[in-house]
């Protein structure tokens, strides 16, 4: 029997050194895929994955996600972005190009409930969340010791009705200028429009109901009072409309008349942590395009 041993196979990290992603949204029309593919080919790139979707084919929007490899990408990426501008202008594209080897930096906001934060930390520690958790911000001290055991900075910034503006100013200071996405892992405070403006479509919240049902506070109590047979959780981008931003991911589980509010909360915690982790993973892998109040997730 012949035994074939594979040697010197590139690791995932090595592959990412020359890999980039593009996200494109533009009015639908002929020639878009051909133009993008030809551009990448002319610059020596090899497309390894491509996804497209047309929303309302009759005069609608076209969405595209591409992963490609290009030798010596780190040195060429800036010029590649500049060169693509002419293609983007022709098709009226909104687009972005990201370097896969540069891990996105996350800031996690949390209050007292720990289940969503713990899930993110577990996935990060296991290598399933390919990002850097730069810091955790909380209006309580409950999770300080646990978070710091991972070597992650923990910033305690109390919030009251009278100090909310000052607290958000401090939050923006500790976050700095190099955070890619903020995750509200059951952070039980409403984010101000001023704060949202700084991070448009870069704040992900987990709401403990199947939106648009049961917006606002105490959704499990609302669900119990309504006698629902299904409960769920929703991860969405934060906008000025409370719990009304573009939905990224949702999931549900059946319940019965025997389940009281506390049992609904217990069941819901599992749904929340899974839904939020999926949404964060898709965001850091550049799989989400936002159009108006909807998302396309590749």
Same domain as 267, residue 157 = yes
Predicted structure pTM score: 0.92
Q: Taking residues 168-175, report their average pLDDT.
A: 95
Residue 190 lies in a domain: yes
Question: 3 or 155: which carries more pLDDT confidence?
Answer: 155
Residue 160 lies in a domain: yes
Q: Taking residues 147-160, report their average pLDDT.
A: 97
Residue 58 lies in a domain: yes
Residue 195 pLDDT greater than 70, yes or no: yes
CATH number for the domain harbouring residue 48 = 3.30.70.260
Known catalytic residues are: 243
Residue 22 lies in a domain: yes
Same domain as 113, residue 81 = no
Same domain as 211, residue 127 = yes
What is the pLDDT confidence band of residue 3, given thresholds at 50, 70 and 90? very low
Summarised one tens digit per residue, pLDDT across range 100-142 is: 999 999 999 999 999 999 999 999 999 999 999 999 999 999 9
CA dihedral 288, 212, 133, 79 (to 10 degrees): 20
| For the chain, percent of residues with pLDDT exceeding 70 | 94
Q: Taking residues 134-153, report their average pLDDT.
A: 97
What is the pLDDT confidence band of residue 12, given thresholds at 50, 70 and 90? low
Where does a domain end: 99, 133, 161?
99
Q: In sequence order, which ranges of the chain are alpha helices (DSSP H)? A: 12-16, 32-42, 73-90, 115-126, 144-148, 164-175, 193-198, 219-226, 261-284
How far is residue 265's CA from residue 268's CA, in Å, rounded to a whole number?
A: 5
What is the pLDDT confidence band of residue 13, given thresholds at 50, 70 and 90? low
Q: The domain containing residue 290 runs over which residues? A: 104-297
Same domain as 233, residue 108 = yes
Same domain as 254, residue 124 = yes
Summarised one tens digit per residue, pLDDT across range 17-62 is: 999 999 999 999 999 999 999 999 999 999 999 999 999 866 699 9
Where does a domain end: 57, 77, 99?
99
Same domain as 173, residue 74 = no
Q: Taking residues 257-264, report their average pLDDT.
A: 96
Where does a domain end: 59, 81, 99?
99
The answer to whether residues 189 and 139 touch, using CB atoms and an 8 Å cutoff, is: yes
Three-state SS at 63? strand
CATH number for the domain harbouring residue 153 = 3.40.50.170
Tokens linked to 273: 């942590």
pLDDT at residue 177, as a whole number: 87
Q: Got the DSSP string for 101-123?
A: TSPEEEEEEE-S--HHHHHHHHH
Residue 209 pLDDT greater than 50, yes or no: yes
Summarised one tens digit per residue, pLDDT across range 219-247 is: 999 999 999 999 999 999 999 999 999 99
pLDDT at residue 15, as a whole number: 72
Residue 4 lies in a domain: no
For Cα atoms 53, 59, 64, give the angle at the middle one, nearest 5 degrees. 25
The domain tally of the chain equals 2
pLDDT at residue 16, as a whole number: 85
């Amino acid at each position: 029997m012949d035994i074939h041993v594979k040697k010197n196979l590139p690791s995932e990290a090595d592959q990412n050194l020359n890999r980039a992603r593009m996200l494109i949204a533009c009015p639908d029309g002929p020639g878009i895929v051909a133009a993008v593919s030809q551009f990448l080919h002319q610059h020596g790139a090899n497309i390894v994955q491509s996804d497209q979707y047309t929303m309302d084919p009759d005069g609608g929007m076209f969405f595209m996600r591409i992963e490609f490899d290009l030798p010596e990408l780190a040195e060429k990426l800036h010029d590649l972005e500049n060169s693509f501008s002419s293609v983007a202008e022709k098709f009226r594209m909104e687009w972005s190009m990201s370097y896969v080897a540069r891990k996105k930096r996350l800031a996690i906001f949390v209050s007292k409930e720990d289940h969503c934060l713990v899930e993110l930390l577990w996935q990060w520690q296991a290598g399933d969340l390919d990002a850097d958790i730069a810091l955790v911000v909380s209006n309580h001290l409950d999770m300080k010791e646990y978070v710091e055991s991972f070597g992650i900075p923990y910033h305690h910034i109390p919030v009251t009705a009278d100090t909310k503006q000052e607290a958000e100013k401090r939050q923006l200071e500790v976050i700095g200028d190099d955070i890619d996405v903020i995750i509200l892992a059951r952070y039980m405070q409403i984010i101000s429009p001023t704060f949202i403006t700084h991070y448009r479509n870069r704040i992900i919240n987990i709401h403990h109901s199947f939106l648009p049902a049961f917006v606002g506070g105490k959704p499990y109590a609302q669900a119990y009072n309504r006698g629902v047979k299904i409960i769920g959780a929703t991860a969405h981008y934060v906008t000025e409309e409370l719990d009304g931003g573009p939905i990224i991911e949702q999931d549900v589980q059946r319940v019965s008349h025997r389940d009281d509010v506390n049992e609904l909360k217990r069941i819901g915690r599992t749904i929340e942590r899974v839904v939020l982790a999926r949404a964060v993973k898709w965001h850091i892998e550049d799989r989400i395009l936002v159009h108006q109040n909807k998302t396309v997730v590749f």
